């Protein structure tokens, strides 16, 4: 069966769906398990996936403990039920929680789909391979599956009638300026399911070894920012070390409702940048949106460490956690 080339994409969901489709193409029945709800402190959040091969192989995780072992044993024995989907409730007390590797008193509600054909996953896999954001809805009563284009908003939803899970790179990261830090940032961001664009119109910064899964743009930074879609799920970071490039990107980003704006540089550089942005008419409230110097204070010096600190700060802002950024912005 022909699938799009997804070898350069790093995604937990993609790995589970691709592996399950491969098993199905070999004629092996697969149980696809989705975490619907959790109570208490759970190792895996709602929407987490697990695929189980009839021979007991697994990919993905729903608990990080022995819940997987119980599900594998049930699937191998054909005990997960005849109907699809089936709802399974793991409600456990202290002793059982310890045996299952769950936190004390943990509880999980799972949806189990019994799949027999690769055709059931191929349309989803095709669209994920194209980088699309796609919502897969499963009707609980009938097991009917529909796919529709995903959008900003809830990534996972459960009600009495259906379960909807959004697949694909729901968040995007625009990096202004190419170089070592941009490459490290891009690599990490891809593993976190970001669509990544590196924008740099300077001829001397054309990447001779472009990263798989990263879009490269030669447009001027302000044009690239102006063309952004789904800005509420977009982070913009300037890395060019050239005020002409960085300021263009920042000026445009301050006019958009992106969820994170970061600028690389020292505190002295950040002060001069604020002065320039003030001179061209940006308000103090607008400028305060910029995280500068970008990144959490982790003592980072090397490019990879700086990239890690920036992605950590982006993650904290995305999750609305007060993480003590260097900027205080």
Q: Say which CATH number the domain at 288 has.
A: 3.40.50.720
Do 238 and 297 share a domain, yes or no? yes
Tell me, yes or no, whether 147 lies in a domain: no
Q: What is the pLDDT of residues 116-150, one digit of tens each?
A: 999 999 999 988 877 778 899 999 999 999 999 87
Same domain, 126 and 220: no
H or E stretch including 228? none
Task: Identify whether residues 198 and 115 lie together within a single domain.
Answer: no
In a domain, residue 146? The reply is: no
The count of other CB atoms within 10 Å of the CB of residue 20 is 27
> What pLDDT, on the 0 to 100 scale, is given for residue 321?
82
pLDDT, greater one: 130 or 52:
52
Q: How many CB atoms lie within 10 A of CB 324?
A: 10
Q: Give Cβ neighbours of residue 110 (< 8 Å, ≥ 6 apart).
A: 33, 34, 35, 36, 62, 71, 87, 88, 89, 90
From 4-8, 52-56, 98-102, 167-171, the region with the lowest mean pLDDT: 4-8
Mean pLDDT, rounded, for 58-75? 81
Structural domain boundaries, residue 203: 171-318
Q: pTM of the full predicted structure? A: 0.68
Residue 149 inside a domain? The answer is no
Q: Is residue 138 part of a domain?
A: no
Tell me which of 84, 110, 132 is where a domain ends: 132
227 and 128, same structural domain?
Answer: no
One domain for residues 191 and 274: yes
Final residue before a domain boundary, out of 132, 148, 179: 132
Structural Rg of the chain based on CA atoms: 23
Q: Is residue 42 part of a domain?
A: yes
Q: Which of 79, 112, 132 finishes a domain?
A: 132
| Same domain assignment for residues 125 and 178 | no
Residue 6 in domain? no
**Residue 103 and residue 176 in one domain:** no
| pLDDT one-digit tens code per residue, 204-248 | 888 888 998 899 999 999 999 999 987 888 999 999 989 999 999
Residue range 79-106: mean pLDDT, rounded: 65
Report d(CA 313, CA 317) in Å as an integer: 6
How far is Cα 58 from Cα 191, in angstroms, rounded to an integer?
A: 20
* Same structural domain, 189 and 256: yes
Residue 128 and residue 236 in one domain:
no
Would 95 be classed as within a structural domain? yes
Q: Name the domain count of the chain.
A: 2
Residue 192 sits in the same domain as residue 71: no
Claim to verify: residue 187 and residue 244 sit in the same structural domain:
yes
Asked if residue 181 and residue 92 are part of one domain, the reply reads no
């Amino acid at each position: 069966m022909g699938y799009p080339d997804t070898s350069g994409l790093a995604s937990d969901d993609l790995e589970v769906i691709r592996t399950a489709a491969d098993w199905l193409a070999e004629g092996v029945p697969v149980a696809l398990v989705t975490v619907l709800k959790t109570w208490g402190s759970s190792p895996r959040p709602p929407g987490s996936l697990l695929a189980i091969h009839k021979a007991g192989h697994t990919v993905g995780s729903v608990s990080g403990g022995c819940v997987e072992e119980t599900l594998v044993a049930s699937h191998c024995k054909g005990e997960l039920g005849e109907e699809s989907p089936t709802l399974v409730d793991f409600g456990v007390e202290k002793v059982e929680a310890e045996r299952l590797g769950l936190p004390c008193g943990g509880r999980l509600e799972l949806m189990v789909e019994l799949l027999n054909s690769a055709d059931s996953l191929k349309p989803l896999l095709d669209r994920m391979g194209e980088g699309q954001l796609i919502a897969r809805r499963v009707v609980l009563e009938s097991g009917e599956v529909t796919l529709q284009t995903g959008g900003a908003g809830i990534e996972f939803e459960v009600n009495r009638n259906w379960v909807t899970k959004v697949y694909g790179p729901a968040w995007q990261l625009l990096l202004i300026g190419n170089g070592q830090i941009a490459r490290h940032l891009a690599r990490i961001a891809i593993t976190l399911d970001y669509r990544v664009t590196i924008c740099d119109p300077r001829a001397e910064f054309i990447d001779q070894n472009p990263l798989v899964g990263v879009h490269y743009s030669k447009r001027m930074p302000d044009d690239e920012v102006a063309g952004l879609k789904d800005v509420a799920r977009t982070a913009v970071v300037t890395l060019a070390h050239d005020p002409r490039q960085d300021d263009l990107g920042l000026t445009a980003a301050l006019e958009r409702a992106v969820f994170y704006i970061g600028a690389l540089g020292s505190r002295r550089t950040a002060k001069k940048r604020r002065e320039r942005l003030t001179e061209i008419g940006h308000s103090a409230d607008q400028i305060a949106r910029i995280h500068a110097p970008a990144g959490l204070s982790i003592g980072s010096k090397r490019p990879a460490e700086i990239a890690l600190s920036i992605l950590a700060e982006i993650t904290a802002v995305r999750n609305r956690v007060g993480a003590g950024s260097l900027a205080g912005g």
